[in-house]
Structure 1
């Protein structure tokens, strides 16, 4: 069956076509949403990037600079005609033409290869005239250095990007080159190697003991640590200590032991002055008994005697002199707590204090320091000491070994019952 088809039949209006046809009414809310969603999905036109400003190359700046000070010479052609020329404002305007500029050779081009872009920049040789001012000459040198550095960097980048081909190895070793024009002979002696410089030993660390008469102990300890020193916190004599701080000399264990060992005995102001200077200062101006220590308070009596002994034994021990108890083998017949104290003192002064207990039989003893009242000797030990002719003295004589010059003789200070 054949059905006739109408030619040029009109297409029914859709929701979108109805909205576009004049007089057809408004779109439905659903159609409007679909239309806007389609429109929003269309790509937007991207903004064209702003053109970059063209900068004047250094070669153009140099040409203009040369033309400014050479009025008769024509301005070299510019590779950038669109850029308007600008005059350089310098300190002095001089009509003296500059010296001839060095032209760019094959080695100065990028990679050492001559290219069409390589430009030989020269200026006409001007008539003789006075030299350029210092300011102008300095500007020319800076421009030339900038151009040379730029070309060198380009050549270096070109060389790095070019692969290097290793040279072929020869089949045999080449013969040594002859030297027909040399006079004399070849020096076959080996070259002397420079002797290595001796390494400097680090400075020894200063270790400080503080006497009981030092005020502001916590502040002084903090300053010592900040300056790089160490502090001996114990109440007894420390054999590793190098300095003793005391407000005034006294007959304490630390004081007598420091004198016997030749340690520095200083006033506490030494730490404050060193802190102000940022480092440990020389000790001489703050040492008790030192003639250079004029800033310290004056002393008298036993304090002055101890201060002089401290300076004398510190100087002597520093020069290599043995200690005050050198060659002494002391028998300490005192209560055990005091025996340990006196033993440290004798040992600090290069002496010996063996730990012998009664009855005594050590024939190496040279002197006996006995506290007869608190720790009496037995009849057997007394007879043995007399038979061996060992001087028996009071322990207080030990301080005389430090302060007397020359040191005392034990035979002259024996107890009454043991005098020869």
Structure 2
């Protein structure tokens, strides 16, 4: 009797960690620790949606931090990794999630919203309440790098970025319904026209303000 061998399938580690704010030497050491615990170290300078946890030295308005908030990821202090190594297994996350009671270094003007954002956003996403759901967004931004970051934030928050057909200094043509537009100063006159059509128009900085202040 012959047997057909089932194809081998790889099991995705339950802990896939992305780091932010760490130096090269620290990242190398963290990689060893994560692998020893059976997790996966994601070595990336940009946010990766396949991560499950973000270990953050200090909260900031970085792409990784804000994207992680929008997708409801665990955003934890470095002590989570250190203590898990000492424990020999992954510890429960709750005690290590960033909050206003966590020791920190940074600007006191930004800290309250930054520190409380991870848990607040995670609970909203857990309840299926993504921040930018039902948004169809047009970007009037020339800088391709900035536009890519802004677009990723909108998509992480459940929104859709409308692909423009043509943009000139005289007008804009786009496909589909637009609910929101984010524009640089050079496109202020086009934003004024969009406002007349009922499109909510803001400068790009408003995206971060939404995540940290509006989403309460």
* Fold similarity call, TM over 0.5: yes
* Structure in which a larger fraction of residues adopt strand: 2
Distance 1:312 1:257 in 2: 14
SS in structure 2 of the partner of residue 216 of structure 1 = helix
Residue 237 of structure 1 and its aligned partner are, at CA, apart by 1.0
Is residue 310 of structure 1 aligned with residue 123 of structure 2?
no
SS in structure 1 of the partner of residue 103 of structure 2 = coil
Residue 258 of structure 1 and its aligned partner are, at CA, apart by 0.6
Is residue 206 of structure 1 aligned with residue 25 of structure 2?
no
Distance 2:112 2:192 in 1: 41
Tell me what 1:369 maps to.
182
Distance 1:208 1:303 in 2: 24
Is residue 269 of structure 1 aligned with residue 79 of structure 2?
yes
User: Which whole-Å deviations, capped at 9, do the CAs of 1:88-116 have from their partners, x for residues lacking one?
Assistant: xxxxxxxxxxxxxxxxxxxxxxxxxxxxx
Matched positions, count: 197
Mark the runs of 5 or more structure 2 residues left unpaired by the alignment.
1-10
SS in structure 2 of the partner of residue 332 of structure 1 = strand
Is residue 322 of structure 1 aligned with residue 129 of structure 2?
yes
Residue 206 of structure 1 and its aligned partner are, at CA, apart by 1.2
Distance 2:109 2:63 in 1: 19
Tell me what 1:242 maps to.
52
1:213 touches 1:248 (CA, 8 Å); kept in 2? no
Change over 3 Å in CA distance of 1:383–1:273 after alignment to 2: closer
* Structure in which a larger fraction of residues adopt helix: 2
Distance 1:316 1:383 in 2: 33
Rg larger for: 1
1:179-258, aligned counterparts within 5 Å?
Answer: 205-213=14-22, 216-258=26-68
SS in structure 2 of the partner of residue 272 of structure 1 = helix
Distance 1:382 1:324 in 2: 22
Is residue 391 of structure 1 aligned with residue 197 of structure 2?
no
1:40-59, aligned counterparts within 5 Å?
Answer: none
Is residue 360 of structure 1 aligned with residue 173 of structure 2?
yes
Distance 1:383 1:393 in 2: 10
Change over 3 Å in CA distance of 1:378–1:394 after alignment to 2: closer
Is residue 337 of structure 1 aligned with residue 150 of structure 2?
no
Is residue 297 of structure 1 aligned with residue 103 of structure 2?
yes
Distance 1:313 1:203 in 2: 25
1:31-110, aligned counterparts within 5 Å?
Answer: none
Change over 3 Å in CA distance of 1:384–1:255 after alignment to 2: same
2:139 touches 2:183 (CA, 8 Å); kept in 1? yes
Distance 1:277 1:245 in 2: 17
Tell me what 1:94 maps to.
none
1:323 touches 1:349 (CA, 8 Å); kept in 2? yes
User: Of 346, 350, 353, which aligns to 2:154?
Assistant: 346
Mark the runs of 5 or more structure 1 residues left unpaired by the alignment.
1-201, 408-420
Change over 3 Å in CA distance of 1:393–1:205 after alignment to 2: same
Distance 1:313 1:337 in 2: 25
Residue 405 of structure 1 and its aligned partner are, at CA, apart by 4.3
Distance 2:210 2:195 in 1: 23
TM-score by length of structure 1 reads 0.44
Higher relative contact order (CA 8 A, sep 6+): 2
Is residue 400 of structure 1 aligned with residue 209 of structure 2?
yes
SS in structure 1 of the partner of residue 145 of structure 2 = helix
